Chain A
Amino acid sequence: MKEFELFFGPNHPGMHGNFSVHLRVDGDTVVKAKPVPGFLHRGFEKLMERRLWIQNLALIPRICVPEPDINEMVYAMAVEKIAGIEVPEKAHWIRTLILELGRIAAHLFSIGGIGGATGLYTFPYWATADRDSVLDIFEHISGARIYHMYIIIGGVRKDLPEGIDSLIRETMDYLESRIPEYIDLVMKNRIIQTRLRGKLVLTREMCEEMCITGVGLRATGVDYDIRKYDPYAAYEWVDFDIPVGEDGDAFTRGYLKLLEIQQSIRIIRQVLDKMPKKGPVNVKLPGNALKWRIPPGEAYAHVESSRGEYGYYVVSTGETTPYRVHVRGASYPQGLYGIEKYLPGTRIEDVPLWLGTMDVCPPEIDR
Chain B
Amino acid sequence: MNKRLELPKKSFWSPASALKYLVKKPVTIRVPKTYREASPRYRGFHVNDWDKCVGCGTCAEVCPTDAIHMVEFEEIPTEPGKRNWRPAIDYGRCSFCALCVDVCTTGSLQMTREYIHISRDPNTFFFVPNEKGIHSVEYPVGYERDEDSDLLDLDRVEMPVIEPQERVTSFIEMVRGYSKEQAIAEASRCVECELCRSACPAQMHIPQYIHQIWKDNLDEGLRYLYKTNPLPEVCGRVCTHKCETACSIGHRGEPVAIRWLKRYIADSVPLERYHEILDAKPVKPAGKSVGVIGSGPAGLSAAYYLVLMGYDVTIYEAKSRPGGVMRYGIPRYRLPDDVLDKDIAFIESLGVRFVMNTKVGVDITLSELKQRHDAIVLAVGFTKGRSTKVPGSDHPMVLQALPLLEKIRDYLRGDAPKPAVTDDVVVIGGGNVAMDIARSVARLQKQEYGKVSVKVACLESEKEMPADKEEIEEALEEGVEIHPTWGPRQFLVENGELKGVELKRCIRVFDEKGKFNPIYNENERKTLTASMVIEAIGQAPDYSLLPDEICQKLDFVGARLLTDEYGQTSIPWLFAAGDIVHGPDIIHAIEDGHRAAKGVDTFLTGGNANE
Contacts and interface: CB of A to CB of B under 8 A. Distances in A.
A288 interface: yes
A157 B149 contact: yes
B440 interface: no
A58 B103 contact: no
B61 interface: yes
Nearest to B157: A286
Contacts of B43: 143-144
A26 interface: no
Contacts of A246: 3-5
Contact of B42 (A143, A180, A242, A281): A143
Interface stretch (B33-41, B424-432, B572-580): B33-41
Nearest to A137: B39
Contacts of A184: 10, 14, 17
Nearest to B26: A129
Interface string B1-38: 10111011010001001000000000110000000001
Interface string A182-196: 011001100000000
Interface string A144-180: 1001010000011111010000000000000000001
Contact of B153 (A52, A141, A286): A286
Contacts of A287: 153, 185, 187-189
B124 interface: no
A29 B97 CA distance: 47
B276 interface: no
Contacts of B17: 184
A136 B189 CA distance: 36
Contacts of A147: 95-97
Interface in B483-531: none
B112 to A, nearest CB: 11
B214 interface: yes
A291 B5 contact: no
Nearest to A141: B41
A156 B97 CA distance: 14
Contact of B148 (A54, A159, A221): A159
Interface in A300-342: none
Interface size of A as a range: 35 or more
B7 A187 contact: yes
A288 B189 contact: yes
B600 interface: no
Contacts of B38: 139
A234 B61 CA distance: 35
B581 interface: no
Contacts of A284: 153
Contacts of B95: 58, 147
Contacts, number: 133
Contacts of A156: 148
A55 interface: yes
Interface string A118-145: 0000000000010011001001111110
Contacts of B435: none
A149 B185 contact: no
A202 to B, nearest CB: 15
B64 interface: yes
Given A51-B64, A57-B97, A290-B103, A143 B148 contact: no
Contacts of A245: 3-5
Interface in B96-148: 96-99, 102-103, 111, 142-143, 146, 148
B433 to A, nearest CB: 37
Given A286-B188, A288-B191, A59 B64 contact: yes
A241 B62 contact: no
A149 B14 CA distance: 42
Given A58-B64, A132-B27, A143 B143 contact: yes
B217 interface: no
Given A284-B153, A290-B61, A158 B41 contact: yes
B276 to A, nearest CB: 27
B397 interface: no
B1 A288 contact: no
Nearest to A293: B188
A55 B63 CA distance: 7
A58 B68 CA distance: 14
A54 B40 CA distance: 24
B97 A58 contact: yes
Given A180-B8, A184-B14, A282-B148, A221 B189 contact: no
A88 to B, nearest CB: 10
B107 to A, nearest CB: 14
A293 B184 CA distance: 11
Contacts of A157: 102, 148-149
Nearest to A167: B39
A281 to B, nearest CB: 5
A247 B5 CA distance: 8
B291 to A, nearest CB: 47
Interface string A227-270: 00000000000000111111100001001100100000000000
Contacts of B539: none
B179 interface: no
Contacts of B151: 54, 288-290
B64 to A, nearest CB: 4
Contact of B64 (A55, A141, A144, A161): A55
A27 B41 CA distance: 55
A132 B42 CA distance: 16
Nearest to A181: B17
Nearest to B256: A288
Interface in A179-225: 180, 183-184, 187-188, 221
Nearest to A136: B39
Contact of A158 (B58, B146, B214): B146
A188 B3 CA distance: 19
Among B64, B65, B102, the one with the most A-chain Cβ atoms within 10 Å of its Cβ is B64
B9 to A, nearest CB: 10
Contacts of A280: 148
A170 to B, nearest CB: 14
Interface in B240-288: 249
Contact of A244 (B3, B39, B142, B214): B3
A129 B143 CA distance: 25
A139 B14 contact: no
Nearest to A187: B7
Given A55-B99, A287-B153, A140 B148 contact: no
Contacts of A159: 146, 148
B152 interface: yes
Contacts of B3: 221, 244-246
Contact of A140 (B4, B5, B14, B41): B41
Chain B CB within 10 Å — which of A56, A157, A247 has the most?
A157
B64 A183 contact: no
17 contacts: A55-B62, A140-B39, A143-B39, A143-B41, A155-B148, A157-B148, A158-B146, A161-B41, A183-B8, A242-B1, A243-B1, A243-B5, A244-B1, A288-B151, A290-B151, A290-B191, A291-B214
* 7 closest cross-chain pairs (CB), A and B: A287-B188, A289-B151, A55-B64, A143-B41, A58-B64, A58-B97, A246-B3
Interface of B: 1, 3-5, 7-8, 10, 14, 17, 27-28, 38-43, 58, 61-65, 95-99, 102-103, 111, 142-143, 146, 148-149, 151-153, 185, 187-192, 214, 249
Interface of A: 51-52, 54-59, 129, 132-133, 136, 139-144, 147, 149, 155-159, 161, 180, 183-184, 187-188, 221, 241-247, 252, 255-256, 259, 280-282, 284, 286-291, 293
Given A59-B64, A255-B5, A259-B5, 20 more contacts: A52-B64, A54-B62, A55-B62, A139-B38, A140-B40, A140-B41, A143-B41, A147-B97, A149-B97, A158-B146, A159-B148, A184-B14, A244-B3, A286-B188, A288-B152, A288-B189, A289-B99, A289-B152, A290-B58, A290-B192
